[in-house]
Structure 1
Amino acid sequence: MSIIGRNSEIELLERYIASKKAEFIALYGRRRVGKTYLINQTFKGQFAFSMTGVLEGRKDDQIDAFLDAMDIFGYKSNERPKNWMEAFSQLRKALSDRISNGNPCIVFIDEIPSLDTQGSGFTKALGHFWNSWASTQDNFKLIVCGSATSWMIKNLIDSKAGLHNRITHEIKLLPFTLKETEEYLLSKNFTWSRQMVLQSYMFTGGVAYYLSLFDESESLAQNIDRLYFSENGEMRREYKRLFKTLFNAAEPYMRIVETLAQKKQGMTRKEIIASMKAEKGGTLSEQIQNLIECGFIRKYMVREKKVVKENSGIYQLVDPFTLFHLYFNGKAKGDTRFWENHINTPVVNTWLGLAFEKVCLLHTQQIKEALRIDAISTQQYSWRSKDKKTPAQIDLIIDRADGMINLCELKYSEIDYTLTESEFNKMERRFAAFVSETGTRKGIFKTLITASPLKKNQYSESIPVKLTADCLY
């Protein structure tokens, strides 16, 4: 099967495998984005050894999985290893012939966080295996993969122990972009309009596995009802599974995202602590950083008087599926055809507007390319007024090194969008408030990004920069 997208990742992987030195490659990313599929398809038939950790397995389960993999690859083990030091010693001996032939000796360990059971000594043994032997073999290529991003970063990428600075390359695999989502659906014979592709992205966030659950014989609404709102929907319980897979203690992480979901523009760290009634300290900071690494939240800076204040960062929930779940969870009340029954109702339309904003925030590079400023150094951030009497907010600001700023208004509509006098005046007030409160001396490009084509009228003609959702592809 061909791989959709992932061209840059495949190019990197092939370059690393072809190098003339030992490589220790860490591939990480959230659950179900296609990490295992990418490695298996790219290096199919080339592995000298490959194994997968047993999710929630004990040490004995992991050793059993190791022995089973040894057997699959034709390596005979005379005795069962008592620990991981002995297991890696057996692997080293088994690979000696493959190493000596000069070709790349590719070893793939999938779901590696699962192997590190409490008291197992796995990471210590892996470090010894790499430091004492594997790193000295120029054609040895170790690829490790895992969904538990916090473990991957703490124990491998930023390890302070035996694996400190041993990772030669790290690749963070992100969900599909909107363009890649469209390519995937087309490859599966879906005949959906771009409006439906956009809405499917709002639901799945471009996660490959979620997209694979779609049925091309159903409409998008039917798919959403079947997958999420039906009694046995395959994604009905995905939210909790997702967090339990990524984090050993999932509850604190879920509390953070559920807190952030209450405020669409996000919260400062101080506001998060106050809302959660949490204690200040390093644990919360680490949890927030892990959520950023996993792509659930983003941190953006606040533009104030002439500078973007690093200490005034706002944390915002941006993961589409998590936002979908937290918005609609409990609203169906047993209605297994909730989505079909609520198309074009306020509850769905409001969500579509919020979700479109997040899709735009996840595709700022594509917006820059559409504006033909991708070669210009920029900062992207949001802004919210400090005037509590007339609160104003701009969701996307592109601050450019060429002395200009794009103030972007993001508007969702399934039909051609009409900029009314009322909405135009609101936009003008927001833009004026931004200039006044920030004191910027840069030039301003008023920018309108709409999900559907913009109807021409006297107000739309007053907006110099106009884009549609097509620019996100």
Structure 2
Amino acid sequence: MEQIIGRKKEIELLTEYYHSGKAEFVAVYGRRRIGKTYLVRNLFRDKFAFDMSGSIEAPAEAQLSNFGFALREYGDSKQPIPTNWTEAFEALKQLLKAKMKGERLVVFIDELPCLDTPKSGFQQAFEHFWNGWAAYQSEIMLIVCGSATSWMIANLIDSHGGLHNRITHEMYLAPFTLRETELMLQAYGFSWTRISILQIYSILGGVPYYLSLLDKKQGVEGNVDRLFFSSHAELKREYGRLYSSLFRNSEVYMRVIEALASCRQGMTRKEIMEKLKLKSGGTLTKVLSELINCDFVRGYNTRDKKIKQKDQIFQLTDLYTLFYMTFCHPGTTDTEYWTHLMGKPRQNTWYGLAFERVCMLHIPQIKHFLGIDQIHTEYYSWRSKVSKPAAQIDLLIERADNLVNLCEIKYSQMPYTITKEEDMRIRNRMADFVAETGIKSGIIPTMITTFGVRLTQYAALAQVQITMDDLFV
């Protein structure tokens, strides 16, 4: 088996399901390029009793042909190509029956949503295959994957039809953390420093395929120029493919993404509707829910006198999308754009914004450093409704032990200096927060920086210091 970077929990679970001794139906889903197929194929490559993959936007006839060719590969080479999905799954049933010898039979169907073409009868035949036979065969382990997250959720995970409550396990594959990204780059022979890994993570996110495109002979700037700004840059064209592969009718999803990209602080549901001129209804709720499920967007609670879920603020957190919308969407003909921005305010501002998002994606690591893994917490941002200009706090972690970590997130390529003016701003924000919310918990000023806080007369403000290294766990 080829070494699989990260995914320890997923490997443990899939191995556990494999040895469960009962019929298993596992749905693995997640964004395009996240490594779903790679994980399943490398873990079970010599254990497949049948596997095939759907083809994006192929007609039903082509999908059935691919299914038929896979039946031939795993069984009778003279197997007729099925003409409909009922025939296809009946043939699969007979193939598996012939292989039953008391050992686990793994059936893997990749890109399952692609098989569900209009009026093809796929869903009904698939439901009948599982509900009518496979679910009662203790040797069968059916694994299905799909990038079309909206389809996977609606038709499998939250199905109200024939597959309602039929999936035995669902598995969402999230992007890599900073630590997993570091391990992957080390396995590929990179000797980058952690600040370089943080910078590239701030642009590509933890998407394994994007990371695999990096060239260890180039630095961060050279890689970014090649992948985003050169002629025929690979990741410049990825944006449209990404959303169309994940969501059917992807236009509305992309409109919401573009709206959120234009507002750093995030937007309420009402603000999104007004900006996009959408009518009230369930469409936006569904879109936001699915974007959150895919880790493109986070919805965080707000706080007045109490923590409020009703007035959630939605913020774009997908780093690749954020970078694309900020620098590629406007367009530039400079093929060395990122190199030419090196050290300039526009690039540093970007890394500062992205570092905030990276921290939001590593709340478990922050809680681990604070020693509050086992304590119930609520985390949220806060925006003043009184002060002018409105004071804002990026991250507050409210704890069940009656303490609140008030986090200031600062990106710098050297230890961060708290100036007299910065000290006063932070103290004013703390005072505004306490006054407006009426919170009674103790406030712990917490600095999250890349290289720590420089020791000056104002450094004592940071009662807790978290550095970039603390996120690499």
**Cα distance between partner residues in 2 of 1:154 and 1:228:** 34
What are the within-5 Å matches in structure 2 for residues 7-406 of structure 1? 7-76=8-77, 78-99=79-100, 101-305=101-305, 307-330=306-329, 333-387=332-386, 389-406=388-405
Letter in 2 for 1:317: L
Q: Measure how far apart 1:219 and its partner are.
A: 0.8
**Equivalent position SS for 2:267:** coil
Contact 1:77 1:90 in 2 (8 A): no
**Cα distance between partner residues in 2 of 1:136 and 1:74:** 22
CA RMSD of aligned residues (A): 1.0
Contact 1:332 1:338 in 2 (8 A): no
**Cα distance between partner residues in 2 of 1:143 and 1:49:** 11
TM-score normalised by structure 1 residue count: 0.98
**Cα distance between partner residues in 2 of 1:220 and 1:255:** 30
Deviations 1:225-253 (A, max 9, x none): 00101011110111111011111211111
**Cα distance between partner residues in 1 of 2:386 and 2:267:** 17
**Equivalent position SS for 1:118:** coil
Letter in 1 for 2:66: A
Q: Measure how far apart 1:462 and its partner are.
A: 2.3
**Cα distance between partner residues in 2 of 1:347 and 1:104:** 56
CA 1:75–1:308: 2 relative to 1, 3 Å: farther
Moved more, 170-179 or 453-462: 453-462
Contact 2:178 2:206 in 1 (8 A): yes
Contact 2:178 2:201 in 1 (8 A): yes
Moved more, 276-285 or 137-146: 276-285
Percent identity among equivalent residues?
50
Letter in 1 for 2:312: G
Deviations 1:380-402 (A, max 9, x none): 11111112523011111111001
**Cα distance between partner residues in 1 of 2:325 and 2:178:** 22
**Equivalent position SS for 1:414:** coil
Which residue of the partner structure matches residue 425 of structure 1?
424
**Equivalent position SS for 1:375:** coil
**Cα distance between partner residues in 1 of 2:200 and 2:230:** 17
Q: Measure how far apart 1:83 and its partner are.
A: 0.9
**Equivalent position SS for 1:425:** helix
**Cα distance between partner residues in 1 of 2:340 and 2:74:** 53
**Cα distance between partner residues in 2 of 1:199 and 1:451:** 11
Deviations 1:145-200 (A, max 9, x none): 00111100000011111111100000000010000000000111111110000011
**Cα distance between partner residues in 2 of 1:103 and 1:208:** 33
Contact 2:423 2:461 in 1 (8 A): no
Letter in 1 for 2:81: R
**Equivalent position SS for 2:170:** strand
**Cα distance between partner residues in 1 of 2:300 and 2:124:** 37
Q: Measure how far apart 1:332 and its partner are.
A: 5.7
Residue 462 in 1 paired to residue 461 in 2? yes
Deviations 1:271-305 (A, max 9, x none): 10011111111111111111111111011000110
Deviations 1:65-88 (A, max 9, x none): 101111222334543322101100
**Cα distance between partner residues in 2 of 1:302 and 1:332:** 35
Letter in 1 for 2:407: C
Where in structure 1 are there 5+ consecutive unaligned residues? none
**Cα distance between partner residues in 2 of 1:431 and 1:72:** 66
**Cα distance between partner residues in 2 of 1:342 and 1:350:** 11
Deviations 1:66-115 (A, max 9, x none): 0111122233454332210110000000111222x111010000000000
TM-score normalised by structure 2 residue count: 0.98
Moved more, 456-465 or 164-173: 456-465
Deviations 1:425-457 (A, max 9, x none): 111111111111110001111100001232111
Contact 1:266 1:315 in 2 (8 A): yes
**Equivalent position SS for 1:38:** helix
Letter in 1 for 2:384: S
Where in structure 2 are there 5+ consecutive unaligned residues? none
Contact 1:403 1:443 in 2 (8 A): yes
